[in-house]
Amino acid sequence: MYNAHKNPYPLSLGMYNQVVLALIIVACVFVTLYANFLLGIDAVYTHLYYLPIILAGIWYHRKSIYLALFLGLAHVSIGYYLAGSIVPSTLIRAVMFLVVAAVVSLLSERRHTLYNETRLLLESTGEGIYGIDLEGRCTFINDSAARMLGYAPDEMIGKSTHDLIHSRKMDGTPCVPEHCGVLQSIWTGEGCRISDDIFWRKDGTAIPVEYSSYPIIEDGLVRGAVVTFNDISERKKSEEEIREAKRRSELFLDIMAHDINNMNQVGIGYLGMVLGALKPGDKVDEDNIVMLERSLSSLENSSRLISNVRTLQEVETGKVRLKPINLCDVLSDVRDRYSRVPGRNVSINYANSPECMLEANELLKDAFSNLVSNAVKHSDPAKPLTVDITQTRISDGGNEYYMVTIADDGPGIPDDLKSKLFTKFQRGQTHAQGKGLGLYLVKSLVEDFRGRVWVEDRVPGDHTKGARFVVMLPASA
């Protein structure tokens, strides 16, 4: 880490420090000799000894005790020479030299350890970190930040970081200080986190970054700010690749849905014409009729799957848009669509109601079609099936809703499946073909229409008597 202030606590004394310390010691010895032998003073001059002792403690830590011991012995020896005996006050001063040396060296070592730990922490992180003062000038910067920005640390220390790395936007327009999150954290005293921005390198290239800036507060006053940032070039590249892959997949899906669905419709049309042309007296093998019906059913299932996937795509990409829809017309269309199921005895009961408006779109019909289709698909084809559709307007929590129930007398749904039924790719326990998208699609659509859907037993407590799906949708005011 490069700091505006050089490390004041190096582990070894440099030549400069040695020279300064030696000169001070020589000066102290000279003053001692002059004061003792010429002036007869033995107290005031000893105050000078504290200066080399303190400097040695700061620069050389515990080794300053040796210097204090040397100066103390020298002081006691001179006093003994002049007085002919050990003077107590002289001995006390010598002890004080040792105490001061011990205290200063201990504090100095602690500060040096803290400095080292902070330096190692800043240099070990892969994030760029730098600090600024109240004027926006750089006060320190770690190696990661300097490397990402392409500057030598001393090229940034004392300089405005805004002018160096954040002065303009990608299009070249100025980034005014009032819009700079880093400077704002100093002016407002509040931290900020920016997920997508750019910093400018020394060579003039821009790097996309996310950064956070938090003020340095001391005694209730803002003293500066610390900024941490990451180069998000790889993330941006990955995001662009994901967007491109999504665009291609949507294109392929559109092509598949359009072309395969068109081919399915042609096949469905021809099979329908063949089946419609057959008369009871025609000599057609029963097995052939069954195969024709199964072929038609397979093509219809294929078209339904494609329709479900496209609808699901619209739901999950947020393309669903709401507009006024007549719920009664939707339910009538669903009833008419499933009133005649080839090879099945199916009765769909729904009494036409007056106009009932709500906010939805054309996909609402897909939701109810899936519920009715689910009842038909999972029932016994050898038995008749009755599906009752009801629609009522109710009040719930001060809001108006349309409650639609779709009840069938099919095999029902066991309780352990009810909670899982609306999850993606969850299928019922029958042998009916499907990909498990239908009911998940229903739930997704209903929730997009700000409604709710759930399933219950048609006969409470007995799931074998059929299922009832309940859909609640907000009514228009």
Give the per-residue pLDDT at 325.
Answer: 92
Q: Encoding tokens for residue 409?
A: 């007398």
> CA 73 to CA 94: how far, in whole Å?
7
pTM exceeds cut of 0.75:
no
Q: How far apart are CA 198 and CA 200, in angstroms?
A: 7
CATH of the domain at 227: 3.30.450.20
Q: Are residues 147 and 190 in the same domain?
A: yes
The answer for residues whose C-beta is within 8 angstroms of residue 385's C-beta and 6 or more apart is: 344, 345, 346, 347, 375, 376, 379, 408, 409, 410
Give domain status of residue 67, yes or no: yes
Residues 115 and 219 in one domain: no
Which residue, 122, 144, 174, sits at the end of a domain?
122
Backbone angles phi, psi at 159, to 5 degrees: -100, 155
Is there a single domain that holds both residue 22 and residue 110? Answer: yes
Asked if residue 131 and residue 107 are part of one domain, the reply reads: no
H-run or E-run covering 468 = strand 462-474
User: Which tokens sit at 371?
Assistant: 């519920």
Please tell me whether residues 116 and 215 are part of one structural domain.
Answer: no
What count of residues does the chain have? 477
Q: Is residue 412 part of a domain?
A: yes
Torsion of the alpha carbons at 276, 279, 284 and 287, rounded to the nearest 10:
60
Q: Are residues 98 and 195 in the same domain?
A: no
pLDDT of residue 354: 77
Q: Where are any strands of DSSP class E within 267-340?
A: 323-326
How far is 302 from 2, CA to CA, in rounded Å?
67
Domain span holding position 197: 126-235
Tokens of 444: 């997704």
Domain co-membership, 450 together with 341: yes
Q: Examine the domain organization and report whether 190 and 176 are in the same domain.
A: yes
The reported pLDDT for the residue numbered 320 is 65
- Cβ neighbourhood burial of 301 (10 Å; 0-12, 13-18, 19+): middle
pLDDT along the chain (477 residues), means of 10: 47 65 78 68 66 84 84 76 73 85 86 73 78 93 91 92 91 88 91 92 93 92 93 89 78 63 68 68 64 69 68 65 89 87 85 86 85 88 92 91 95 88 62 55 87 94 94 91
Question: What pLDDT does residue 104 have?
Answer: 87
Domain count, the chain: 3
Does residue 4 lie within any of the structural domains? no
pLDDT of 41: 60
Report yes or no on 289 lying in a domain: no
Whole-number Å distance between alpha carbons of 94 and 75? 7
- Angle, nearest 10°, between helix axes 15-33 and 64-83? 10
pLDDT number for residue 433: 45
Q: Are residues 330 and 436 in the same domain?
A: yes
204's CB contacts (< 8 A; 6+ apart) are: none
Residue 289: what pLDDT?
66
